[in-house]
Amino acid sequence: MSDRSLNMPDVVEEVRDLFERYEVALVEKDVAVLDATFWDSPHTVRYGMNENGYGFAQIHAHRVARPPGPGTKERRIRLEILTVGRNLATVNLEFKVRGRDLIGRQSQTWVRFPEVGWKVVSAHVSTMAVTPIL
């Protein structure tokens, strides 16, 4: 990776648009968009709230089985996007968990592949108490 420029506005906007598309697809259970967001590889990992997805096939199977609906996000607290060069990004979202006294945390690592464009290669969703234990 020769270009390590941070947060070029056009790259940040591109990743933000893809992330927002993914978030809408979660609520609508648009499996085609959800699948298109993730790298179709046995190396892709997604740790969800109630599953560990190792490889695209497992991630897809969970998506098909999960019920549609608004999911666990009641409201966003903070969204952070970091891009490094034009081909690597991280997205981190902190949110209030719907109906629970919990904070949710979602992280994604995005890579732009020459042949398929931007894809999530790793993702993690977890929760913590609203008041963190220090």
> Which CATH number goes with the domain that contains 85?
3.10.450.50
Nearest residue to 78 (alpha-carbon basis) of 100, 53, 102, 105: 105
Residue 40 within a domain = yes
The number of distinct structural domains making up the chain is 1
Given pLDDT bands bounded at 50, 70 and 90, which one contains residue 66?
Answer: confident
Residue 1 within a domain = no
| Lowest mean pLDDT across 56-60, 63-67, 102-106 | 63-67
| pLDDT score for 133 | 64
Residue 3 within a domain = no
Residue 80 neighbours by CB distance under 10 Å: 10
What global pTM score does this model have?
0.93
